[in-house]
Amino acid sequence: MTVTPARPKYVGGAVPRREDPRLLLGRGRYVADIALPGTVSLAVLRSPVPHARITRIDTSAALAAEGVLAVLTFDDIRAEVTPLPCIDVYPDTRPALQTVLADGVVRYVGEPVAALVATDDYLAEDALDLIEVDYQELPAVADLERAVAPDAPLLYPEFGGNVVNTVHQDVGDPDESFATAEHVYQETFTIHRYAPVPMETRGVVADLDPITDRLVLYTSTQFPHLVRQFLSGVLSLPESGIRVVAPDVGGGFGGKCEFYPEEVLAPLLTRRLRRPVKWIEDRREHLVAASHAREQRHRVSAAVAADGTVTALDVESWTNNGAAFCTLATTPASISSAMTRGPYRIPNYRARAHTVVTNKTPLAVYRGAGHPQAALVMERMMDIIAADLGLDRVELRLRNMLGPAELPNDRGTDIVLAGHVVYDTGDYPESLRRGAELIGYPEFEIERRAALGQGRMLGIGFCCFVEETAIGPYESAVVRVDGAGKVTVLTGSSPHGQGHVTTFSQLVADELDIDIADVTVLHGDTDVVTEGVGTFASRSGAIGGAAARRAAEAVKHKALAIAGHLLEIDPADLEWHDGAARALGSPDTSMSLGQIATAATPWNPPLPGGMDWNLTATYQHQAPGIAFSNATHAAKLEVDPETGQVRVLDYVVVHDCGTVINPMIVEGQVHGGVAQGLGGTFFEELVYDEQARPKTRTLHDYLMPTVGDMPWIRTSHMQSPTPLNPYGIKGAGEGGASGSPGALVNALADALGVTLTSDGPWTPERVLELLPENS
C-alpha cells in the first residue's frame, strides 16, 4: 500500500496548552469541588506522638457528639482490610507495611488512629477532640545514623533492626581499582528531607453508584487504575465493583503516586453509611501525613588515576524511609544506587543502598526519585576531585564521560520495577560543552575577579546526569472517530499538570492529518478508560503518547480499508491526505474520516465480513526497555557576604528528551523542576527534633520559593531519539528537579571556595557561617 505520510504539523511545535484556558479561568474541577447531595465529612485523628503503644481508645463521647455519624478504629475494620500495599519490594525486603489505621502502635506523628464522620467539616473536626486515646510512649528515633546504631529503638522488633532493605549493585572489580589507584577520595554527603507540596492537597470523595451500587472513588491521584487495583486488594472487593475517578489534579510530583489510608477509609465509611463521604486534607495534615522525600546519606569513595580518570566508585547509602512503607518505598534507594555514575564511564562500581525505618513520616518518590541525590553526590565528587588535582572541572568531566559512540551502554545495574540499565542514546559531552558555553564559563574567571573587586562573590556550578524515564510495563489508548469526523482519545495516562491533552492531541492530529481542535483527549476515569497504568517516572509522553499515536495509526489503516471497499479501489491505490482517504492520482475521489466513520455504523450497507462496525482502535504500547534522558544544568549565582543571601543570576539547562513533542511544554516542565530543586537547596526543610517530633507544621515554618526567587531559565534542546518507541520520545517531566540541586550546590561551593557535603537548605544564616571570616 502506498500511503503518502502526512506532513507533521504539530509535533515539534510550541502548541499552546489546550487545557489552560479552563484552568486559568477557574473552571477546573478538583476533588474539593465535587459536591454530591447528602455528602458527609470525614476527619482523621492522627497520632500526636512519634512512637507509642495505644493502651486505650474510647470513642463513646465522640459518637454522642452533635452530627457525628460514625467513628472507626482499627478494631472496627480489622476483619475487612489488609495492610496497604508496597509494590517495589525485593525478595529479602522486610515489609514495614502500614495498616489503614494504627494497629495498637503508632510510629510517626500524623499516623491515622481513628476516622470520624459527621454531617459537616466543623462538627467532624470538633468531635475528633472527644476521642480519648491513651498512649504509652516508646523511645523514638529520627536520625539515620542513630537508627542504624546497635542500641537504636526498634520500630519493628520482629525485624531485629531498622534496616528493612538493601539494594546491591556490583559492576567490575572496585577492590582492584582501589588497591592500585593513585588517588582515593572519600566524602560523606547528607541530603535533607523535603516534600512535593503540590498546590492542591490530597482529597477523596467516596460514593455508591445509585444504579449499580458500585463503589465510586474520586481521588486526587496520579494513577487511578492502580488505586482501583489496590483498593480491590485491600477491601477484597472485585475491581468490577469499583470506579475510580481522578478529576483535575493540582499537581502531585510523586506524592500522589501513592495509595493512602484515606483512600480506604472513605470507601469503608460510605459503604457503612450509604452516603457520600468526603475528606479534604488541610495543609497541616499534608505536612505530616502525605509522603515526604529525598532524605539520604551517602558515603562515597572514588578511585582516581593521575590524569583524573575515575576508575572505581564505592557508595554506601542510607535512605530515611520514615515509619512505614509507602506504595513506592525502595525506589529512591534503588534509583540512586543504580544511577550514581551518571554519564561517566567509571568501569568498576559497588553500591549498597539501605532503606532504614525511623519515626518520621513515610518517605517515597518525589520528582526525580533518587536521581537528584545521585546527581548531587556524583557532581560534588567531580568538583572535589578536579579541585584537588588542579584540573578544570569541565575537562575532568569530559575525560570521564561516555561519548555517543559508546552508546548503547550496559551499565550493569538494575532499577526496581523498571529493569536493567542500558543507556540508549545521547551526546553527553556535547551537552556539557554547550552548557558551559551558554553559561559563559570560558570567560567566567575574568567576571569573577571583577566582581570580587566590588565585594561580590560569584560562582558557577554544573550538574550532568542521565535519567531513567519512560518505564513500562505499558500504557493503553483507544482512538475513536465519530460520524462528524471528530476524534476521541482515551488514555490510561493520568495527567496532573503535564499537558497531555495538548501533546497527545499533537501526536494524534499529525497521524491523522487533521486539525488539533478535532481531537478530544479523555483520561482519569476507570469506567471511561478501562485499562491504564498512570503518570509517573516521566513515562507518559513516550509510553502513553506512543500508544495514542499507534491507535490513531491503526484507525487510519482501518479507514483506508473501509474507504477502499466503498470506493471500490484497492486500498493500495489510496493515500491518506488532510484527514481523508483519496485515490492516488485522482484527488477528487476521496472519503473523509467522518464519511468513513458514518459508513461503519449500523443501518448502512453492510461492510464485508471481518470488517469492524466502527472506526475505533485500541493499542497497548509496551516499553521494551528504559529510555534514558540526559541534561546539563549550569547555574551562576551570587552570594551577598553581608547577609548570606544567594541570588541565582543565570541558569541554563541543556536538555535531551529525544524527539520533542512540544518544546514549550518541555520548557515548562524544566522550569517547574528547577523551582523545586531551588526550593530544596535554599528554602525547604522538614525539620524534626531528636525525638522525631516534627517542627515544620505549617507553611509558615516550611518556606517555599516564589516567583521572585526564580532565575530566568534558558533551555537548550538536544534531541537524541530513542529506538525504544517508534517516535523517539523520552521523558521530560523530572529533569528540571534532578539536576538543579547538584548545579546550585556546586555553584555555591564555587562562590564560597569551600567543600560542601550537604544539599542544604542553604539559608542565609548557614551561608554566613561558611564565609571564611566566620568559619
CB of 657 to ligand MCN, least distance (A): 4
Query: Which C-beta is closer to ligand MCN: that of 459 or that of 499?
Result: 499
**Minimum separation from the CB atom of position 660 to ligand MCN (A):** 5
Of the two residues 39 and 738, which places its CB atom closer to ligand MCN in the complex?
Answer: 738
Distance in Å, CB of 15 to ligand MCN, minimum: 10
Q: Nearest approach, Cβ of 11 to ligand MCN (angstroms)?
A: 8
User: For every residue of 646-662, which 3-state class applies, written as one string?
Assistant: EEEEEEEEEEECECCCC
For residue 672, the minimal CB distance to ligand MCN (Å) is 5
CA-based end-to-end distance of the chain: 75
Q: How far is the CB of 537 from ligand MCN (least distance, A)?
A: 5
Q: How far is the CB of 713 from ligand MCN (least distance, A)?
A: 15
Question: One-letter amino acid identity for 422?
Answer: V
85: number of Cβ within 10 Å: 18
Cβ-in-10-Å burial (0-12, 13-18, 19+) of 719 comes to middle
Identify which of residues 283 and 449 has a Cβ nearer to ligand MCN in the complex: 283
What cell numbers appear for 46 in the block?
A: 492522627
Shortest distance in whole angstroms from residue 472 CB to ligand MCN: 13
Please give the residue ranges that form the binding site for ligand MCN (CB under 6 A): 198, 251-254, 367, 496-500, 503, 535-542, 545, 657-662, 665-666, 669, 672, 729-734
Rounded alpha-carbon distances, angstroms, from residue 587 to 7, 557, 582, 583: 17, 18, 6, 6
Of 162 and 669, CB closest to ligand MCN: 669
The span from the CA of 737 to the CA of 653, in Å, is: 11
By beta-carbon proximity to ligand MCN, the closer residue of 207 and 467 is 467
Under DSSP, is residue 461 helix (H, G, I), strand (E, B) or coil?
A: strand
Q: How far is the CB of 85 from ligand MCN (least distance, A)?
A: 20
Is the Cβ–Cβ distance between 16 and 499 less than 8 Å?
no
Residue 199 or 211: which CB sits closer to ligand MCN?
Answer: 199
- Strand boundaries in 30-149, DSSP class E: 40-46, 52-58, 68-72, 105-106, 112-118, 132-137
- Residue 110: which residues within 8 A CB-CB, separation 6 or more? 46, 47, 285, 288, 289, 361, 694
CB neighbours of 443 closer than 8 A, spacing ≥ 6?
none
Question: Closer to ligand MCN at the Cβ: 367 or 397?
Answer: 367
- Helix/strand/coil (H, E, C) string of 616-656? EEEEEEECCCCEEEEEEEEEEEEECCCCCCEEEEEEEEEEE
CB of 368 to ligand MCN, least distance (A): 7
Toward ligand MCN, which CB reaches closer, 426 or 499? 499
Q: How far apart are CA 22 and CA 11, in angstroms?
A: 23
Q: Which is nearer to ligand MCN, 253 or 688 (CB)?
A: 253
Residues 6 or more apart whose Cβ sits within 8 Å of residue 111: 46, 47, 98, 102, 289, 323, 324
Residue corresponding to grid cell 491503526: 554
| CA distances (Å), origin 359, targets 106, 150, 239, 257, 362 | 9, 17, 34, 22, 9
Cell of 391: 584540573
CB of 506 to ligand MCN, least distance (A): 8
Residue 257 or 646 with smaller CB distance to ligand MCN: 257
Which residues are 743's β-sheet partners?
none
Nearest distance, CB of residue 12 and ligand MCN, angstroms: 9
State the cell numbers at 420.
536493567
Nearest CB to ligand MCN, comparing residues 108 and 366? 366
Please say which residue, 340 or 538, places its beta carbon nearer to ligand MCN: 538
Q: How far apart, in Å, are the Cα atoms of 399 and each of 67, 183, 307, 343, 408?
A: 70, 16, 9, 11, 19
Would you call 506 helix, strand, or coil by DSSP? helix
DSSP-derived 3-state class of residue 244:
strand
CB of 500 to ligand MCN, least distance (A): 5
Select 293 or 580, whichever has its Cβ closest to ligand MCN.
Answer: 293
Nearer of residues 304 and 487 to ligand MCN, judged by Cβ: 487
SS3 673: helix
CB 514 within 8 A of CB 593: yes
Least distance (Å) between residue 167 CB and ligand MCN: 20
Using Cβ positions, the residue closest to ligand MCN within the complex turns out to be: 497
Residues in the chain: 775
Which CA distances in Å does 16 have to 13, 501, 527? 9, 11, 29
Which is closer to ligand MCN, CB of 714 or CB of 717? 717
CB atoms within 10 A of CB 89: 18
What minimum distance in Å lies between the beta carbon of 666 and ligand MCN? 5
